[in-house]
């Protein structure tokens, strides 16, 4: 018999939601055969069974969120297959895997004796091959919201509630038995602005006091409104970016780049490149190549702020922000981008973008970046102030390239006006890591590389 735990799905991932079980209790499963699907704040991933055998227990139903390391199922040998469902009480066996989200039958059984009537009711036991007394221990321990409280919370939910000052009594649980889930807590954070609600006015006839700073006004949907639930990736993005805005003294710098030099190579070779590679050659790989080269001269751009220290990374794992058809944003990583030339970078950008939009990235491919580029120009933006992707110290926005009149130097001296492709490179950066002169000179270096390098050998 083997206990199946929720694996570590990326270095910053601490929990996951079981979105689908591919097997039901009593089914045979082969080693490395997909057993369940888990959704994190970054990706959805199919997780294979580490061993062959029979699925004897499902301890975490579809829709539940648990911490990494939680035992979620048990796989045993054929002799440990559970008794037929008919032997169990009729109310216990779920009719189908799809119904497990709304039921508590698949939760681990509570140990005897039963809890007192005043306590929250224990979930009904699941059919098992052995008496409940011999069942393995329940998954991740749950703790009450406060001493003497009957509200039961998972460690993940309790942490969210504690960190954001939420009032448990104001949160309506949607989990089995009315349990408060991670999604319920996230929704409460969105409603209350990640802080306790302001106390009501106590003086009759006076206007209520203004809400404290940082507390979002409560919004109630009306009959003319449409309510759209925020996806997990939208909620996670909101929390992560809000944390970044609160924690980082962000500054902003911009340079204007003349892309005529890039276009002299890009346009000349674009048909040949597309025929050979199967995708178009855009400005993004040129910019990415210039960024990783400029980092060699300005290494603090590629760092993280620690405890009274700056941790400078001696490699460049370049994140490229990818839009998921307006449904969210991911930043998959080009590993060791500083060791790759332009064509290799272009291939990886295209591959990561295609697999990101089809939800085929692994957790490790979207974590661990040291510097991020977000390509807002592909949507037509001409100037964007992006939010830093912690724990990085800078993020660069590549905005739209448009034809504009520019002043150019002509051979033999003098100046003239010409129409060139021009675009902005806009960077948000962490003022704790360096100052404006350092950030500005880094951008000037990137600009110089783009405007003067002979790119023919790179393509």
Active site residues: 431, 435
Count of helix runs (H) and strand runs (E) in the chain: 7, 20
Give CA separation, 358 vs 203, 283, 317, 355, 361, in Å.
56, 23, 22, 5, 8
Whether the upstream peptide bond of residue 222 has omega within 30° of 0, thus cis, is no
Strands (E), 77-169: 143-144, 152-153
> Would you state the structure tokens that stand for residue 199, as one six-digit string?
């106390």
> Would you state the structure tokens that stand for residue 330, as one six-digit string?
């991911």
Alpha-carbon distance of 296 to 208, in angstroms, equals 56
Give 192: exposed, middle or buried? Use CB within 10 Å, 0-12, 13-18, 19+: buried
Pairing state between β 371-374 and 394-398: parallel
First to last CA, the chain: 55
Residue 429 near residue 411, CB atoms below 8 Å: no
Pairing state between β 402-409 and 371-374: unpaired
Residue with structure tokens 């600009």? 447
Alpha-carbon distance of 44 to 251, in angstroms, equals 34
Q: What is the dihedral of CA 40, 46, 52, 54, to 10 degrees?
A: 70
Alpha-carbon distance of 324 to 332, in angstroms, equals 12
Q: Give me the DSSP letters along 363-420.
A: GGGGS--SEEEE-GGGGT-S---PPP-TTBSEEEEE---EEEEEEEE-TTS-EEEEEE
Q: Which residues contact 84 (CB under 8 A, 6 or more apart)?
A: none
């Amino acid at each position: 018999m083997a206990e199946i735990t929720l694996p570590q799905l990326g270095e910053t991932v601490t929990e996951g939601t079981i979105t689908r079980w591919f097997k039901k209790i009593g089914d045979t499963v082969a080693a490395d055969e997909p057993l369940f699907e888990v959704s994190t704040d970054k990706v959805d991933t199919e997780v294979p069974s580490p061993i062959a055998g029979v699925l004897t227990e499902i301890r975490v139903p579809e829709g539940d969120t648990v911490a990494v390391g939680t035992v979620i199922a048990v796989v045993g040998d054929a002799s440990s297959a559970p008794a037929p469902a008919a032997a169990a009480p009729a109310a216990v066996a779920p009719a189908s895997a799809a119904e497990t989200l709304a039921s508590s039958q698949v939760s681990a059984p509570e140990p005897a004796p039963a809890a007192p009537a005043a306590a929250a009711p224990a979930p009904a036991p699941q059919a098992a091959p052995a008496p409940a007394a011999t069942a393995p221990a329940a998954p991740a321990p749950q703790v009450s919201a406060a001493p003497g409280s009957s509200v039961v919370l998972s460690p993940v939910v309790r942490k969210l509630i504690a960190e954001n000052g939420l009032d448990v009594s104001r949160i309506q649980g949607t989990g089995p038995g009315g349990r408060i889930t991670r999604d319920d807590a996230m929704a409460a954070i969105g409603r209350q602005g990640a802080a306790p609600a302001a106390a009501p006015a106590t003086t009759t006839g006076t206007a209520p006091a203004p809400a404290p700073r940082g507390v979002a006004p409560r919004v109630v949907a009306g009959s003319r409104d449409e309510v759209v639930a925020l996806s997990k990736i939208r909620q996670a993005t909101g929390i992560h970016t809000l944390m970044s805005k609160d924690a980082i003294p962000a500054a902003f710098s911009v340079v204007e780049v003349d892309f005529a030099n890039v276009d002299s190579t890009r346009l000349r070779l674009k048909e040949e490149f597309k025929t050979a590679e199967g995708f178009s050659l855009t400005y993004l790989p040129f910019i990415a190549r210039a960024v990783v080269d400029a980092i060699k001269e300005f290494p603090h751009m590629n760092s993280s702020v620690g405890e009274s220290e700056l941790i400078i990374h001696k490699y460049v794992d370049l994140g490229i922000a990818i839009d998921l058809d307006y449904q969210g944003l991911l930043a998959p990583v080009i590993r060791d981008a500083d060791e790759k030339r332009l064509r290799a970078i272009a291939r990886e950008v295209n591959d990561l973008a295609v697999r990101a939009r089809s939800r085929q990235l692994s957790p490790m491919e979207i974590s661990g970046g040291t510097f991020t580029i977000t390509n807002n120009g592909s949507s037509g933006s001409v100037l964007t102030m992006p939010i830093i992707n912690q724990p990085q110290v800078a993020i660069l926005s590549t905005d739209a390239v448009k034809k504009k009149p520019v002043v150019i130097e002509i051979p033999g001296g003098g100046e003239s006006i010409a129409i060139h492709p021009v675009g902005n490179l806009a960077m948000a950066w962490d003022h704790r890591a360096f100052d404006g002169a350092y950030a500005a000179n880094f951008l000037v270096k990137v600009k110089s590389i783009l405007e003067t390098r002979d790119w023919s050998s790179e393509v």
